[in-house]
Amino acid sequence: MIRIENLIGGEFVSPTEFFDDISPLDGTVIATIPRTKNVEGAVTAAEKAQSQWSGLSLLQRCDWLDKIADSLESQIDELARLESLDTGKPHHVALNVDADRSVNNFRFFAEFGRNMKSETFEMPDATNYVMRKPIGIVGLISPWNLPLYLLSWKVAPALLMGNTIIAKPSEITPITAHFLGKVCTDIGLPDGVLNIVHGYGPEIGQAIVEHPKIKAISFTGGTATGKIVAATAAPMFKKLSLELGGKNASIIMEDADLEITVPGVLRASFLNSGQICLCGSRVLVHSSIYEDFMSKYLEQLQSFEIGPVINDSHRDKVMSYVQLAKQEGGHILAGGNIPDKPGSWIEPTVIGGLSHKSRTATEEIFGPVVTIHQFDSDDEAIQMANSTQYGLAGSVWSKNKGRVIAEKIDSGMVWVNTWLHRDLRVPFGGVKDSGVGREGGMWSVGFFSEAVNICVMED
Ligand code: NAD
Q: Report the alpha-carbon distance of residue 21 to residue 2 in Å, rounded.
A: 9
Residues 441 and 390 in one domain: no
Quick check: is 455 catalytic?
no
The Cα–Cα gap between 220 and 426 comes to 18
Residue 407 and residue 445 in one domain: no
Probe target for ligand 1 pocket from 36, 138, 152, 170, with the most ligand atoms within 8 Å of CB: 170
Whole-number pLDDT of residue 15: 84
Ligand 1 geometric centre to CA of 62 (Å): 29
Q: Read off the pTM.
A: 0.97
Question: Are 220 and 254 members of one domain?
Answer: no
Task: Please report the sign of the dihedral spanned by the C-alpha atoms of residue 232, residue 237, residue 238, residue 240.
Answer: positive
Which of these is catalytic: 5, 83, 171, 243? 243
The protein residue with its alpha carbon nearest to ligand 1, atom 15, reads 201
CA-wise closest residue to 282 among 377, 378, 351, 380: 351
Could you tell me what percent of the chain has a pLDDT over 70? Answer: 100
Residue 203 shares a structural domain with residue 116: yes
Q: Are 55 and 193 members of one domain?
A: yes
Grade residue 196 by pLDDT with cuts at 50, 70 and 90.
Answer: very high
Select which of 171, 184, 254, 277 is catalytic. 277
**Do residues 104 and 239 both lie within one domain?**
yes
Sign of CA pseudo-dihedral 36, 37, 40, 42: positive
Q: Per the domain annotation, does 200 fall within a domain?
A: yes
Residue 114 resides in a domain: yes
Identify the residue whose C-alpha is closest to ligand 1 atom 11.
201
CA separation, residue 259 to residues 265, 292, 345 (Å): 11, 11, 29
Q: Do 92 and 199 belong together in one domain?
A: yes
* For ligand 1, mutation pick of 35, 141, 151, 223 (most atoms within 8 Å of CB): 141
The CATH number for 229's domain is 3.40.605.10
Do residues 279 and 317 both lie within one domain? yes
Distance separating the N- and C-terminal Cα atoms of the chain: 68
| Section 225-248 average pLDDT | 98
- Between the CA of 48 and the centroid of ligand 1 the distance, in Å, is 29
8 A C-beta contact, residue 325 and residue 316: no
Question: Does residue 336 lie in a domain region?
Answer: yes
Residues in the chain: 459
What is the distance between the alpha carbons of residues 319 and 346, in angstroms, rounded to a whole number? 8
Place 436 in a pLDDT band, splitting at 50, 70 and 90. Answer: very high
In the predicted structure, residue 300 carries a pLDDT above the cut 90: yes
Nearest-angstrom CA–CA distance, 442 and 454: 20
One domain, residues 328 and 307: yes
DSSP state of 274: G
Judge if 240 and 258 occupy the same domain: no
272-308 CB burial, b ≥16 within 10 A, e <16: bbbbbbbbbbbbbbbeebbeebbebbeeebeeeebbb
Q: What is the mean pLDDT of residues 165-190?
A: 98
In the chain, the number of structural domains is 2
As beta bridge partners, residue 127 has: 122, 456
Q: Is residue 350 a part of any domain in this protein? A: yes
Per-residue pLDDT of 5-61, as tens digits, reads: 999 999 999 888 999 999 999 999 999 999 999 999 999 999 999 999 999 999 999
> Given a cut of 90, is residue 459 above it in pLDDT?
no
| Mean pLDDT value across the chain | 98
Ligand 1 site residues, Cβ closer than 6 angstroms: 141-145, 150, 168, 170-171, 201-202, 205-206, 209, 220-222, 225, 228-229, 243-246, 277, 364, 366, 392, 430, 435
**Would residue 86 count as lying in a domain?**
yes
> Is there a single domain that holds both residue 207 and residue 176?
yes
Q: What is the pLDDT of residues 302-321, one digit of tens each?
A: 999 999 999 999 999 999 99
105 assigned to some structural domain: yes
Domain housing 217: 2-244+434-457
Q: Which tens digits make up the pLDDT trace of 346-398?
A: 999 999 999 999 999 999 999 999 999 999 999 999 999 999 999 999 999 99
Q: Whose CA is nearest to atom 20 of ligand 1?
A: 205
Give residue 192's pLDDT: 98
The pLDDT value given to residue 16: 87
- Give kind and range of the element (H or E) at residue 351: strand 349-352
Q: What is the CATH number of the domain that holds 387?
A: 3.40.309.10
User: How confident is the model over 440-457, as a mean pLDDT?
Assistant: 98
Same domain, 332 and 371: yes
In a domain, 440, yes or no: yes
- 277 given a catalytic annotation: yes
In a domain, 429, yes or no: no
What percent of the chain clears pLDDT 90, i.e. is strictly above it? 99
